[in-house]
Structure 1
Amino acid sequence: MLTGCLMICLFLQVAIDFTASNGDPRNSCSLHYINPYQPNEYLKALIAVGEICQDYDSDKRFSALGFGARIPPNYEVSHDFAINFNPDDDECEEIQGVVEAYQNCLPKIQLYGPTNVAPIISRIGKQAAGKEPIKDASKYHILLILTDGVVTDMADTREAIVRASYQPLSIIIVGVGNADFTDMQILDGDDGVLRSPKGEPVLRDIVQFVPFRDFKTASPAALAKCVLAEVPKQVVEYFSHKAIPPMNPVLDSTPSSIANTPD
């Protein structure tokens, strides 16, 4: 249950890692294995975490992006592409729409690399900033990144997160598979303040890392608690920094609202 809610429109964006380190989708060992009978590791994570987050999105339409693949028609490497191949409208209807776009996209692309995360963080950070000054506490963005964990552009990613910490944005990184997630723990910043390569600290701690392997047999409630643990605090810290008062409080939580503090 969520208490002390603020009426805030949340916008969820999903970014999926299509780098070759995930393994050939035709191979049963791949995290992107194309299996007609059961979901692969990415789909399991997307569905489990996405269904938690979608209840707090205002319109149930999600921007769905990919990175690290060669994409049609020219098969050039892209670190920021719409998985429905429509750059003018990258949104999908509910998490099921993201699942369908992912399943349609996977056979058409070539997994490649490197694992550059900074371009998508920078893109969503700019979207969150908007074109006009933010005047009220009504809109906030959440970027959900699904990755196997080995970031290639660590310096640029740290810089992008520092810049994004000044915008109405939180980042949830879900580690898929059994890779070394040391980089993700660093980005999470729980063990210390994340800094840019030049030493500039983040304004707010906006990254939450969740190793999906730790929750495969856990209850949905346990996964939800971990995924959303830091978001309410991050929302409050952003609008407090901007000295923007909350919208009128409501007594009960609704799908388009988020709490000051979790129960």
Structure 2
Amino acid sequence: QCIVWDWDSNGKHDFIGEFSSTFKEMRGAMEGRQVQWECINPKYKAKKKNYKNSGIVILNQCKIHKMHSFLDYIMGGCQIQFTVAIDFTASNGDPRNSCSLHYIHPYQPNEYLKALVAVGEICQDYDSDKMFPAFGFGARIPPEYKVSHDFAINFNEDNPECAGNAHSRTDCHTYQSCLPKLQLYGPTNIAPIIQKVAKSASEETNTKEASQYFILLILTDGVITDMADTREAIVHASHLPMSVIIVGVGNADFSDMQMLDGDDGILRSPKGEPVLRDIVQFVPFRNFKHASPAALAKSVLAEVPNQVVDYYNGKGIKPKCMSEYESSRTLAP
């Protein structure tokens, strides 16, 4: 089944019609002959007596390109480089107060910890060294207590990764350890951390291989204050091997986040440049408060496999090395 749309830059495409074909029919164009079909709009056909079609679709050339899957790239050695960024703005509340989103309860994890563990434990399985860079934003940090929007939560800028085998748990320990040393402040700017990860992803493009794909998990409690810069950063990142996942913590109004997600239309930079591909996934944690960690992780990471495939297939980059699994696969006739 082939569906034909009249493309519109605002994402509201107009339906023209549809037609059915087979792979065998389309392959006829590989033999140098033209193949064509009538494009039919069922609604018009039912209403108009003299309706014939909404146009003719002509296929002049047909080529077969293999579309590699997410598993193909992972089996081929592609590593998922996972980075987490945590919101330390004052709107979270004083961590010493039990009402704070950063309050460390002696018997149960807060929402930041729950999200970090749920997503981190999945991502670590796709990362050979299981070491995740962890950053914070929106806080005053020692020793000078200047506001930073991309500081390492272990305060080691040269090595922001948190070591350990049960890695996401180690990230949690580092998070808890840094809290007493910070002064929660603001504003909620996330463009700097997107740009930081994008820089690493940009360096990866020089290899022209499917070696590393970057995922940035941003945990935030409210509306971001640098929307224009964030849109610009996301549009730039959409050209790179990178995805951005935003988890909204708490009960704030996250309606602006839907625009970044791109589900309601194509995200554009302030200059009007559209994203090359949709790389942002937004999930409000409150929807999963009573769900299992697996349910949260599934929702948060749902779009990542397709985003990885879209990037590498779009660039014509094949899996780095064919595994026994890959070499044993055959194309269906």
TM-score, structure 2 as length reference = 0.72
Map 1:1-263 to 2 at 5 A.
Answer: 4-6=71-73, 7=76, 8-93=78-163, 94-130=167-203, 133-248=206-321, 250=323
| Structure 1 unpaired stretches of 5+ | 253-263
Matches of 1:138 and 1:167, distance apart in 2: 13
Q: Is the 8 A contact 2:261 2:280 kept in 1?
A: yes
**Residue number in structure 2 paired with 1:260:** none
Flag the structure with more relative contact order, 1 or 2, with Cα contacts below 8 A and sequence separation at least 6.
Answer: 1
Question: How far apart, CA to CA, are the structure 1 residues paired with 2:258 and 2:306?
Answer: 19
Q: Which amino acid aligns with 1:40?
A: N
Alignment RMSD: 1.9
CA shift, 1:3, in A, is: 7.5
CA distance in 2, matches of 1:213, 1:251: 43
Pairwise CA distance, 1:97? 1.6
In structure 2, stretches of 5+ residues that fail to align are: 1-68, 326-333
CA distance in 1, matches of 2:204, 2:307: 22
Q: What SS does the corresponding residue of 2:72 show, helix, strand or coil?
A: strand
Contact 1:68 1:114 in 2 (8 A): yes
Structure 1's consecutive aligned runs of 4 or more residues displaced over 4 angstroms after TM superposition are 248-252
Amino acid paired to 2:263: D
Call closer, same or farther: CA 1:112–1:13 in 2, change over 3 Å.
same
Change in 2 beyond 3 A, CA 1:30/1:220: closer
Residues 123 and 198 of structure 1: is their aligned pair in 2 closer, same or farther, counting only changes over 3 Å?
A: same
- CA deviations on 1:207-230 (whole Å, 9 max, x unpaired) are 011111111222344223211111
State the shift of 1:16 in Å.
Answer: 0.2
Aligned residues: 252
Give the Cα separation in 2 of the matches to 1:14 and 1:3.
22
Larger radius of gyration: 2
CA contact (8 A) 1:4 1:250 kept: no
Describe the superposition over 1:158-194 as per-residue Cα deviations: whole angstroms up to 9, x where unpaired: 0000011111101111111111111211111111110
In 2, Cα distance between the equivalents of 1:250 and 1:226?
Answer: 29
Q: Tell me, in whole angstroms, the C-alpha distance in 2 between the residues paired with 1:230 and 1:175.
A: 17
Counterpart-to-counterpart distance in 2, 1:27 and 1:221: 29
1:132 CA drift (Å)? 6.5
C-alpha deviation, 1:143, in angstroms: 0.4
Question: Does the 8 Å CA contact 2:118/2:294 hold for their aligned counterparts?
Answer: no
